[in-house]
Amino acid sequence: MDLCMLVVSLILEIIFIALFSSHPVVAANSKLFREYIGAEDKGVTFSDVPINEDVDFHFILSFAIDYTTSSSSPPSPTNGDFRVYWDTQNLNPSHVSSLKTHYWNVKVAMSLGGDTIANNEKVYFSPKTINSWVRNAIHSVTDISRRYHLDGIDIDYEHFHADADTFAECIGRLLFFLKQNGVVSFASLATYNDDSAQPHYLALWRKYGHVIDYVNFQFYAYEKCTNISQFLKYFDEQSSNYRGGKVLVSFGTDGSGGLSPENGFFMACRRLKHQGKLHGIFVWSADDSMKDGFRYEKLSQTLLAK
């Protein structure tokens, strides 16, 4: 009888353990550090920015825009014909080559779109038709990517003259083509908590999430003086919006909002790291960080490298 009870209780215990033990957390931390560069014509170069050899480092050239460049008339949309708008004096193709030969751990991407152009005019995503936009974008983005030896594409439109499904189709097909044909090896989207932008990016995520490697969520677009617990709540919200995605955390060095390094950004990062949820950190932007000697870039990379 005793033996019988023992066996039964052992079996029950085994079943209980099998059913209810929590699965060990698979740490999904990564050592990815990304930084936007070149949007503000402040003369910043790749070699100004400190690079820790123990992280995966992405520079994101900002921006290529499908708008005309003419000094005589205001910029206007070109239906997917992208041109380079970053500081090409200091960030040209040979700078990219030499950077990549010096650092095995550095890759270079470019970001498409952005907030504004010229005299603070908003950049709108303005395709004429899906097919024509995609055709032009494939051609121009491939051309720029080859010329600049790029590894990745970031999508950063913030204003829209097209609905969410059109956006998703255009961007999804472009990214699919670029990755399928080995033009670039990774893609990210850059979105923020905004009623008009989010539906576009969520539609893109739903339909083409499988071609998007990282979600550069602009946590610095939240209110100034965000505290740690709010920040962690926002992180959870966006992680569930972009379910299955690698949502990266971020701060701005241009005086924008969100949880700043002074108010506990790195403490929040350590919390996420402890939970296996730190997929990487990105910063807007190198142009703005130069004045402070990139101190927070150094701290970010040290935290990721550990």
Q: Which residue ranges make up the site for ligand NAG (CB under 6 A)?
A: 227, 229-230
Of 129 and 227, the one with the shorter C-beta distance to ligand NAG is 227
Cα gap 304→279, rounded to integer Å: 9
Smallest separation, CB 202 to ligand NAG (Å):
25
Of 128 and 274, the one with the shorter C-beta distance to ligand NAG is 274
| Catalytic annotation, pick one of 158, 169, 237, 297 | 158
Smallest separation, CB 230 to ligand NAG (Å):
5
CA 226 to chain centre: 20
Smallest separation, CB 259 to ligand NAG (Å):
10
Nearest residue by C-beta to ligand NAG?
227
Of 223 and 292, the one with the shorter C-beta distance to ligand NAG is 223
Smallest separation, CB 257 to ligand NAG (Å):
13
Smallest separation, CB 253 to ligand NAG (Å):
23
What backbone phi and psi angles, to 5 degrees, belong to 297? -65, -40
Cα gap 38→217, rounded to integer Å: 19
Cα gap 250→236, rounded to integer Å: 14
262: enclosing H helix or E strand: none
According to DSSP, residue 225 is labeled T
Of 185 and 230, the one with the shorter C-beta distance to ligand NAG is 230
Whether residue 169 lies in the annotated active site: no
Residue 294, SS3 per DSSP: coil
- The answer for residues whose C-beta is within 8 angstroms of residue 240's C-beta and 6 or more apart is none
According to DSSP, residue 97 is labeled H
Of 88 and 229, the one with the shorter C-beta distance to ligand NAG is 229
Instruction: Give whole-number Cα distances, 286 to 62, 180, 237, in Å.
Output: 11, 31, 28
Residues annotated as part of the active site: 158
